Amino acid sequence: MVWQAVHEERRALIEDLAAADPDQWTTPSLCPGWDVHDVVAHLVDTAKTTRLGFVRRLLAARFDFDRDNAAGVARERSATPAETLSEFRRVLNETRTPPAAPATRLVEAIVHGEDIRRPLGFKRTYPIEHVVTALQYQLKTTVSMGGGKQRAAGSRIVATDSNVDAGSGAEVRGSTLSLLLAVSGRPADRNEFTGEGATAFIEHLTG
């Protein structure tokens, strides 16, 4: 069940964040312009967002997604990391979502989890079924809707640690997590991918 996986990933991230020093919350995340504290505030915000609330917010932001996200971060970023983390704990088991499939919340939990963990040097061994669900969703969803379909276009995406084998073209092999992050628009390390299409895949992502 997707929501069970979402809650498990939120819980794991909260445990990691509880071990971080307050100063680490000012570390730049993998999201341009956002530090760790901003990303956590965003996760709190989206956990609270209902379908109707999303429509109202988007109208207020004049259909500017970036403006809406910035407003959400400002609203949910508390004065201290401890306060923001406490609120994240409070909404951990929420099942609210904007007008999108619940799988988007799992994509968010994993990708934003890595946006935070990688700069802080934290590592998580994700349940592979969680990452597979997230990757499969991203591969079939357009970039305009938050997915990664166009980023994977022209490549056969093959995971080395799961049964994901999707698309057609030159083969690109990598871990399920590395492929998820790449098609989700995160910086891709050429060393994480093999196959005859790997170089072209990276060039397509950065071009």
pLDDT in tens, 168-194: 999 999 999 999 999 999 998 999 999
pLDDT above 70: residue 54? no
Task: Report the pLDDT averaged over residues 104-109.
Answer: 96
The answer to whether residues 144 and 161 belong to one domain is yes
Q: Which residue has the higher pLDDT, 145 or 191?
A: 191
* DSSP designation for 15: H
Residue 63 binned pLDDT confidence (cut-offs 50, 70, 90): low
* Confidence bin at 156 (pLDDT 50/70/90): very high
Q: What's the number of domains the chain is made of? A: 2
Q: Which of 59, 86, 120 is the endpoint of a domain?
A: 120
Among residues 120, 151, 185, the one where a domain terminates is: 120
Task: Give yes or no: residues 75 and 171 share one domain.
Answer: no
Q: Domain range holding 71?
A: 2-120
Q: Are residues 133 and 160 in the same domain?
A: yes
- 67-73: long-range contacts at Cβ-Cβ below 8 A with a sequence spacing of 24 or more? 69/42, 69/45, 72/41, 72/42, 72/45, 72/46, 73/34, 73/38, 73/41, 73/42, 73/45
Which CATH number do you get for residue 159? 3.30.1050
Q: Last residue of some domain: 120, 136, 169?
A: 120
Average pLDDT over residues 132-156: 95
Is 10 in the same domain as 90? yes
* Residues 144-166, mean pLDDT to the nearest whole number: 96
Based on the fold, state whether residues 197 and 143 are members of the same structural domain: yes
Distance CA 131, CA 184 (A): 12
Q: How confident is the model at residue 206 (pLDDT cuts 50, 70, 90)?
A: confident
Instruction: Verify that 134 and 202 share a domain, yes or no.
Output: yes
CATH number at residue 67: 1.20.120.450
Same domain, 138 and 108: no
For 143, residues 6+ apart whose C-beta sits below 8 A from its C-beta are 149, 150, 151, 185
Write the pLDDT tens digit of every residue in 5-29. 999 999 999 999 999 999 999 999 9
In the chain, the percentage of residues whose pLDDT exceeds 90 is 82
Same domain, 110 and 8: yes
Which pLDDT band holds residue 62 (cuts at 50, 70, 90)?
low
Q: How far is CA 64 from CA 35, 54, 59, 69, 91, in A?
A: 21, 12, 9, 9, 25
- Average pLDDT over the chain reads 93
Q: Is the pLDDT of residue 148 over 80?
A: yes
Residue 12, helix vs strand vs coil: helix
Q: CA 189: distance to chain centroid? A: 17
Which three-class secondary structure state does DSSP give residue 185?
Answer: coil
CA count, 13 A, side-chain hemisphere, 206: 10
- Domain shared by 7 and 102, yes or no: yes
Same domain flag for 67 and 30: yes
Backbone angles phi, psi at 194, to 5 degrees: -130, 180
Q: Are residues 137 and 184 in the same domain?
A: yes
Query: What does the pLDDT read at residue 185?
Result: 94
Q: Specify the pLDDT at position 61.
A: 56
Coil/strand/helix, residue 47: helix
The residue ranking higher by pLDDT, 8 or 70, is 8
